[in-house]
Amino acid sequence: MGSQRDVARAREPAETRAILLFASAEFLDVATTLIGLRSGRFREGNPVAAKLLARTDLLMALKLLVVMAVLLLVHRFVSPGRRAGALMVMATIAMAAPILNVAHLLAGG
């Protein structure tokens, strides 16, 4: 029984780092999207998102809800041994959006 606890404690830091990386990627996505849209050089192509972007507080609440739902689903359906790895893959994929946003901002449209 003690051995299982030791393994669980060893996984916790990796899982925590993966959660923080995923949440940071999502935050950067929102931030770079808002910067790009507020610069006036870009516009949102999705009409539903365009309405949400007019209300930053609503956008942040919706994004937080989606991130929490994804994390809860991962916690529920991914085994503890694979959870940190799955979250790292998700964080890596989530970083694509802010990287592309920054590239568009630097390229000037």
Which tokens hold the place of 86? 């799955």
Give the residue extent of every domain in the chain: 2-107
pTM, 2 dp: 0.74
Among candidate residues 43, 66, 65, the one with its CA nearest the CA of residue 54 = 43
Provide Rg for the chain, Cα atoms.
17
Distance (Å) of CA 54 to CA 38, 47, 82:
10, 11, 39
Write out pLDDT tens, residues 78-106: 888 888 899 899 999 999 989 998 998 88
Write out pLDDT tens, residues 48-69: 777 766 776 777 788 788 888 9
For the chain, the distance separating the N- and C-terminal CA atoms, rounded to the nearest angstrom, is 58
88, 21 Cβ separation under 8 angstroms:
yes
pLDDT confidence of 12, banded at 50, 70, 90? Answer: confident
pLDDT at 95: 93
